A and B are shown apart, each in its own frame.
Chain A
Amino acid sequence: MSRIEFDGAGVDVLDGAGAPREILSGVSLTLTEQRIAVVGANGSGKSTLLRLLNGLVLPTRGAVRVDGLDTRTAGAKVRRIVGFGFTDPLSQLVMPTPREDVELSLRRVHRDRKERRRTAQALLANFGLERLADQSIYELSGGERQLLALVTLLAVEPRVLVLDEPSTLLDLRNRELLRRVLSGLAQQVVFSTHDLELALDAERVLVVDDGGIVFDGAPHEAVDRYRTLAGARDPGAP
């Protein structure tokens, strides 16, 4: 597995008045497990934490390294080994059909068009999407789109997959499908989720709250901690 290091990584954004506001406080940790989940409320800093992993967001302070590569100075190299998936798969599918989108990913690894086509076909077939290869991406179901988004990431054989709430827009059947697919991947997967069952599949769970990591450990304890935290924040709680 890859070694992902957060070395005092913090992120500030400018507020409406132009003053810096901290959205992630200095995070220091090392991730080497194969399945890592990140849970937390909306706006807690989960997405920022994940986006640091492939350089979509650069730390204001500290550093983030993947297998020794700094996201600030080796961003392109990091993105070659870390694939990033958005909550809404339509955000990352930019070509009209599944085949063309997978071929777009493959442009980085295969110069020859016929080779790209063959590889795209094989990848789509592996994930049961072959029959949808030439349909419009807008005609796919939510589950099929999420699966396709995964295929476009896997096409370039990343070592690490980072998925930002991959199950949020899925119905129960497609969530189960996603769980099965994720559990079968050889890659290291770091994902954020509100689906606590999915979080329990991980080996390590980080609980993020108010821009900081408030718990880092085993899944069941982490989920309990998150539930307690959410309960304490609920204004209707006794």
Chain B
Amino acid sequence: MRGHAFLVGTYHEGSSPVHRAPLWLKFLLVCLTGAAAFVLVDWVVSAALVFALLLLHLLAQLPASHLRRTAAALAPMALILGGWQWWQLGLPAAARIVLNIAACVLAAGLMTATTPVQQLLDGLVRASGPLRRFGADPERFGLTMALMLRSIPFVLGAFADSRAAARARGLERSPRARLLPVVIGTVAYARQTGEALAARGLGDADADADEEASAGEGAG
């Protein structure tokens, strides 16, 4: 099941201007695109935004397969949401909503495809540094966020696997056959990931904390 996890959100090595752009700039692009989705009211402007993001994908020299996979992942939701909005609000509004969502996905995809996970992790750790004074552990925060990003493609893959397995058994109309394996698989994946991190000592509190903990136990 995890084999699907590489289909979306993988970093593509390169030396394009987009790859070399600082992380804060890419993050700003994602935030501005997200904000624009609430502000833009004209589908022509939304289409222009999507076009601009596609140009950035070209500039980043990402393989065509990257866009194809993004489009394939987006298509079912765009069809359902677009159809519903067309019926409720008319074609221009439906087009605007779908294009705004596509813009957000393209911006986020551009950032993850041109930034190594480790760089994202470093950025998050740096950004959450000020929270240390409130007792937060930036390293753990960064690791948690990286794992969350990493889990999204897994869950998408689990849905695809479950759908295929249900179809193979002639159970494509059974919600239970399509959803239950996703829930079970996702929980198992979370446990497995947690165990792997524990085994590698990642996310462990500082080793010195062991002594404090055992001293505390003794005192208690």
Residues of A at the B interface (CB closer than 8 Å) are: 54, 56, 73-77, 79-80, 83-86, 90-97, 99-100, 103-105, 107-108, 113, 116-117, 134, 136-139, 152-153, 156
Contacts and interface: CB of A to CB of B under 8 A. Distances in A.
B13 A76 contact: no
Interface in B183-220: 192-193, 195-202, 204-207, 209-211, 213-214, 217
A73 B206 CA distance: 13
B199 A56 contact: yes
B150 A136 contact: no
Contact of A136 (B10, B139, B198, B199): B10
Nearest to A136: B6
A91 B195 contact: yes
Contact of B213 (A73, A100, A104): A73
B3 interface: yes
Contacts of B195: 56, 86, 91
B199 A84 contact: yes
A134 B147 contact: no
Contacts of B193: 94
Contacts of B118: 95, 100, 103-104, 113, 116-117
Contacts, number: 99
17 contacts: A74-B207, A76-B204, A76-B210, A79-B199, A86-B195, A92-B200, A94-B193, A94-B197, A96-B5, A100-B117, A107-B121, A113-B119, A136-B6, A138-B3, A138-B6, A139-B6, A153-B200
A50 to B, nearest CB: 10
Given A76-B205, A76-B206, A96 B139 contact: no
B167 interface: no
A95 B201 CA distance: 15
Nearest to B139: A107
Contacts of A139: 6
A107 B202 contact: yes
Interface string B6-24: 1001110100000000000
- Closest 7 CB pairs between A and B? A79-B201, A73-B214, A136-B6, A84-B199, A76-B204, A92-B196, A76-B207
B116 interface: yes
Contacts of A103: 118
Contacts of A116: 118
Nearest to A120: B118
A80 B200 contact: no
B196 A94 contact: yes
B122 interface: yes
B2 interface: yes
Nearest to B112: A96
B200 A134 contact: no
A152 B200 contact: yes
Given A79-B199, A96-B5, A99-B116, 19 more contacts: A73-B210, A75-B204, A76-B210, A79-B198, A80-B207, A83-B199, A91-B196, A92-B200, A94-B150, A94-B193, A97-B10, A100-B11, A100-B116, A108-B201, A113-B122, A117-B118, A134-B11, A136-B6, A152-B200
Contacts of A77: 207, 210
B93 to A, nearest CB: 37
Contacts of B11: 96-97, 100, 134
Contacts of B200: 79, 83-84, 92, 105, 152-153, 156
Contacts of A156: 200-201
Given A92-B196, A113-B122, A75 B150 contact: no
Given A75-B204, A104-B202, A90 B2 contact: yes
Nearest to A92: B196
A185 B207 CA distance: 26
Contacts of B5: 96, 138
Nearest to B192: A91
Contacts of B139: 107
Most buried by B among A76, A95, A108: A76
A92 B197 CA distance: 7
Contacts of A105: 200, 202
